[in-house]
Amino acid sequence: MKKNINRRVVVTGLGVISPIGLGWNRFWRNCVNGKSGIHKIKSFDTSEYDRHYAGEVRDFDPAKYINYHKIPYLGRASQFAIASSKMALEDAGIHQEDLLKKMAGLFIGTTMGEPKTLEFINQELSDRGFGAKKDLPIWQYPSNVIGANLAHYFGIKGKTLLISTACSSGNYAIGHAYDHIKSGRLNIVLAGGVDSMTRLNITGFSRLFAMSMKKCQPFDKNRSGMLVSEGAGFLVVESMESALNRGANIYAELLGYKLSCDATHMTMPSKEGIIQCILGAVKNAKIRLDDIDYISAHGTGTVQNDKTEALAINYIFRDMKKRPPISSIKSMLGHTMGAASAIEAITCCLAITKNTVPPTINFETFDPECNVDCIPNQARQLNVDIALNNSFAFGGNNACVVLRKFKNRSFVKGGSRVIE
């Protein structure tokens, strides 16, 4: 088949599992209302820790979404991934036979993989001794099983790729989906990210002294850290022709993206790396800086991350009279790790569709080092034509995705819209 290397790429389905709602409708309603999903941890005993709050998904019943006859045992991350993918496919009006007939692919981002399975095995061995080893699901521990489980469950026979670039993994997956649709290598892609919360990530971030006590306050002067969370976000990405032929609802068009690794520091963000990533995404999307209406910030609530992101954004938009507003939904969800930028991409799609941008809650005190309009505490009505989705991960793994309100007209390359 001759490849079309300039197909337009659109988003037609959204699926969310999050601490503030299952399904995009409930998620979005709570998001624009500024509801916090942060509570005291109930899934395990935190008495030996000095931090006790996180974003847990508490009302999730996997039996409502998953036929266990297909896969007898699933880790929590795979459960989240299958449930949110099922939501996205149903939202897009795509059936399993469609995935079998068409060139369908699967790109997944994760930070932790399936550590909850390992914790379960460890507990079983502790309780039952090594006599338990014969019936323990050790095969469901490696991260790659998330992709294998989804492909098996939905019958996806095209390319499957699992990406682990920490908290930018979801945007990496969406970027790869864009490439494969645009080039004609695939027709439909399930793209997103997933992570579950365990003792492992609570322990790790506690040891890094990166966690707040009770609330996440991105861009606030008194911010004291991030909060660990869990969830999944998946998008159905397909060619415009496929979507129009099916009569599908189109949430947004993917215009382009940029991935980069500044390799500056293992945990500290780099202003220069962020600047290069955002400008690269703008150039690849063939838009102007003044076309951007909203930025979904990485906004973790840590002192250095928020300061560096704000400085980078202010530098990029320094010559503009009015800079685009930004917000961080991590103030409500906490940090969902590999799912974060995927859920934030869904947020951008909904902001574009609903012409509303979500707030950064818990904002109390202005910080002159974070001189940005972070949409404090209250959602804002705003005509969002183009949105940027930022994610800047450990190791300098940066990613920025550009989304636009869908317009059924030819997209002219080049011209004055290009950043040189």
Per-residue model confidence as pLDDT tens digits over 150-166:
999 999 988 999 999 88
Rounded distance, CA 305 to CA 42, Å? 28
pLDDT digits (tens, 9 = 90+) for 310-331: 999 999 999 998 899 999 999 9
pLDDT digits (tens, 9 = 90+) for 347-361: 999 999 999 999 999
Tell me what the mean pLDDT of segment 163-190 comes to: 94
86-95, 106-115, 139-148: least confidently modelled range: 139-148
Residue 50's pLDDT is 87
Name 82's Cβ contacts closer than 8 Å, sequence gap at least 6. Answer: 65, 66, 74, 149, 150, 153, 154
By annotation, the residues acting in catalysis are: 167, 298, 335
Tell me what the mean pLDDT of segment 24-46 comes to: 96
Tell me what the mean pLDDT of segment 230-236 comes to: 98
Q: What's the whole-model pTM score?
A: 0.92
Rounded distance, CA 347 to CA 88, Å? 14
Residue 18's pLDDT is 98
Q: Which helix (H) or strand (E) holds 236?
A: strand 231-239
State the alpha helices, DSSP H only, in 13-114.
24-32, 76-92, 96-101
Q: What mean pLDDT is reported for the chain? A: 89
Residue 206's pLDDT is 76
The amino acid that residue 92 corresponds to is A
Residue 103 has pLDDT above 50, yes or no: yes
CB atoms within 10 A of CB 96: 13
Domains of the chain by start residue, with CATH? 9-406 (3.40.47.10)
pLDDT digits (tens, 9 = 90+) for 354-394: 999 999 999 999 999 999 999 999 999 999 999 999 999 76
What is the DSSP secondary structure assignment for residue 325, as one 8-state letter?
Answer: P
- The residue among 119 and 30 whose pLDDT is bigger is 30
Rounded distance, CA 227 to CA 202, Å? 9
